[in-house]
Amino acid sequence: MLITRTIAETRAAIAQARAQGKRIGFVPTMGYLHEGHLQLIDIAKEHSDFVVVSIFVNPTQFGPHEDFAAYPRDFERDRRLCEARGADLIFAPEVSEMYPERSLITFQIEKLADHLCGARRPGHFNGVVLVVSKLFNIIQPDVAVFGQKDAQQLIIIKRLVHDLNFPVRIIAAPTVRESDGLAMSSRNVYLSAEQRAQSPVLYRALQRAKALVESGERDARKIIAEMQQLIATASEAKIDYIEIVSTKDLQPVERLDGQVLIALAVYFGKARLIDNIILEISGAHVREIAALP
Ligand code: AMP
């Protein structure tokens, strides 16, 4: 497995793989890897012959009072995990390599960043779209794999690729959970023992929403109210948002129909945890979509 720190080395290594006729798969991450990330590597390997994992805590997607400095980092551990999982290259640039100066070109995202994390973290998705565009231009992958755990990010990236004609296929990966339902996240290390014990309430709230929809409930306000009530039973939980939006435009729905994203962000202490489910509703029929096509 190769490790590169500069854009020039990365381009040279990928050019060599391409010259051997290999298809390039790409898994962008911020490191501190867990099974959710490693599953993305497995999926990338199914669809390509040379898998690049980027490890870069991207400053432009953090707000001024967010956890950029505190974000957990352990390159040696990440290196071992990537190697064991069969990645071919880790691209782990310094901030100065990716941003030798502040980018004067930024993106404007209409509609898709109006709600959910986009509303709570102003500028976040601009930073995501900026770094992903740069990484796509550096790596020029045939396929790139993103987790549905970050559903808003996934939908915005799919639209970025569509609108800007990036020649890459985006593949969505289902959310990997701990055995008690907590979605895996690098930020779970922030949780105290008590907060960790309470945190599965998020998954239970999503399952409760699904059960309500399956039993015929279509009123978004009622479903959200039940989820709020359930989460309020966890003394450490502070709800940032619970929203139900259409997956088409990420705008809130009043009545559930078609494909909807039920998403939440909840603080446990300083850990802001996000989770979601996607349901496809057609008449009385309800189906959960683990990975958007
Ligand atoms: P991050 O390192 O948190 O920026 O995440 C990098 C990629 O891993 C993103 O595409 C995430 O959606 C994905 N990811 C993070 N956690 C999970 C998880 N529990 N299951 C599936 N994918 C995940």
Per-residue pLDDT reduced to its tens digit, 24-58: 999 999 999 999 999 999 999 999 999 999 999 99
pLDDT of residue 15: 98
DSSP states of 163-212: HHT-S-EEEEEPPPB-TTSPBP-GGGGG--HHHHHHTTHHHHHHHHHHHH
User: What residue owns the CA closest to ligand 1's atom 5?
Assistant: 29
User: What residue owns the CA closest to ligand 1's atom 14?
Assistant: 147
Instruction: State how far the Cα of 140 lies from the Cα of 10, in Å rounded to an integer.
Output: 11
pLDDT of residue 64: 95
pLDDT of residue 128: 98
Residues lower than pLDDT 50 in the chain: none
Query: Separation of 5 CA from ligand 1 center, angstroms?
Result: 22
**Contact assessment for residue 206 and residue 214, using Cβ atoms and an 8 Å cutoff:** no
Please state the atom number of ligand 1 nearest to the C-alpha of residue 149: 12
Instruction: State how far the Cα of 290 lies from the Cα of 293, in Å rounded to an integer.
Output: 9
Query: Separation of 40 CA from ligand 1 center, angstroms?
Result: 8
pTM of the full predicted structure?
A: 0.98
Please state the atom number of ligand 1 nearest to the C-alpha of residue 177: 19
Query: Separation of 133 CA from ligand 1 center, angstroms?
Result: 18
* Contact 91 CB / ligand 1 (< 6 Å): no
pLDDT of residue 269: 97
**Contact assessment for residue 114 and residue 250, using Cβ atoms and an 8 Å cutoff:** yes
Selection from 203, 174, 213, 219 nearest residue 266 by Cα: 203
Active site residues: 37
Instruction: State how far the Cα of 136 lies from the Cα of 113, in Å rounded to an integer.
Output: 21
Per-residue pLDDT reduced to its tens digit, 196-236: 999 999 999 999 999 999 999 999 999 999 999 999 999 99
Q: How far is CA 126 from CA 59, 103, 110, 130, 211, in A?
A: 11, 11, 11, 6, 35
